Amino acid sequence: MTDTDTDARWNARVRLALASRSVDHRTADVVLDEVAQHCAATGETPEEAFGSAEDYADTVVKERVPPEDRAGSTGTHAEHVGAALMGTGCVALLAGPVLWIIEGAMLPVTVAGLVGAVLVGLALTGGNVAFTLSGSRVRAAVCWGSATAVLVVLAAIAFTTLPATGLGRIPALAVSVLGITLLYWGVKHGSDSDSDPDSGSGKGAPAQADLGTGVEGGAEGWLRELTRLLKEEHGIRAARAAELTAEAAEHLRASGGRPEEEFGPVGPYAVRLSDEDSTSHERWWLRDGVRSSVLSLFITVGLTVSAYRAGLPVWQVMVGCAAVAVELAILVSCVVSRRSRSSSRA
């Protein structure tokens, strides 16, 4: 892989990480232009100059997005769906070459295979949305996860019960072309919400309720909302969130003031606490490195099982098993390195 390819991959990971953090595409363009100018002037690679894509995205959010704009927002519906489409596109992009190796340059298309593949694609998209929402919006994640489970069952039924009537053949790399299309669609779908004044993201002013100015229940309600935001919106551990809330409560008891007077709206204050806290906030399974490894492992296992069931040559099945082992090792390494980094920062 050339340096240019490595830089392009880093840029793509940054753009995906920024999109998952509800940063609009215009800001992402500006940030990546600045990165390119810095690297051209210094001769460094983006990763050498700015670190991993995920960590740099976290830095950009803290430095470029005011707490008021981040408060109460874990991404709009369009942004979550856009990120899910991008994840599905990545899987399809990888699947094309793998299918070419296993099945050949031309893939047979049947009624059962076509309907089942469409349902699998929808399930994968729904699963990506549930995966993303699992770090904050638990109820929404459960709904999306349930829909994904239904789609998986329907896909299994389609593969096993629908007729295997041949509809023709398509190039294996057409799957990769579909993946590129989904990637573009995901970027565009997520960025469309930037210009929507009702989306609650981008440059529009957040609603008062999002800022926490109308929290019911007085000081107790404000403190309860602070704990919820720290845990659900910012991924801070429950014990640490309770500790931060207790510190705020102690300050209020000592001063006798109202929370809004002492700390301001609860949403922006939770963001400031999150930025100042040294513990790892983001759920480890939502890190882009872990996510991409899980997706790669999922598709590799599926294709290897398909190759075995189709009775393909043993060497092809062995290649698939080796690929599964490599993907699993990458996933374990990514999880361990993330946890080690979090422990060193704590």
CA–CA dist 211, 272 (Å, integer): 13
Check residue 154 and give its pLDDT.
92
pLDDT at 333: 76
Model pTM above 0.75: no
Residue 150 is predicted with a pLDDT of: 92
Report the 10 Å Cβ neighbour count for 60.
23
Query: What does the pLDDT read at residue 211?
Result: 41
| Cβ within 8 Å of residue 285, ≥6 positions away | 131, 134, 291, 294
Answer yes or no: are the C-beta atoms of 28 and 57 closer than 8 Å. Answer: no
Name 169's bridge partners.
108
Spell out, as residue ranges, where the chain has pLDDT lower than 50. Answer: 1, 194-214, 216, 342-346
Q: Are 132 and 80 in contact (CB under 8 A)?
A: yes
If 0-12 CB within 10 Å is exposed, 13-18 middle and 19+ buried, where does residue 46 land?
buried
Q: With contact defined as beta carbons under 8 Å apart, do 296 and 94 qualify?
A: yes
CA atoms within 13 A on the CB side of 157: 7
Q: What's the pLDDT score for residue 213?
A: 43
> Distances in Å between the alpha carbon of 26 and those of 34, 64, 195?
13, 12, 11
The residue to which tokens 């699963």 are assigned:
127
Q: Are 120 and 154 in contact (CB under 8 A)?
A: no
For residue 300, the Cα-to-chain-centroid distance in whole angstroms is 20
What sign results for the dihedral spanned by CA atoms 17, 20, 26, 27?
negative
- What is the Cα–Cα distance from 91 to 293, expressed in whole angstroms? 11
For CA atoms 96, 97, 98, 104, the dihedral sign is: positive
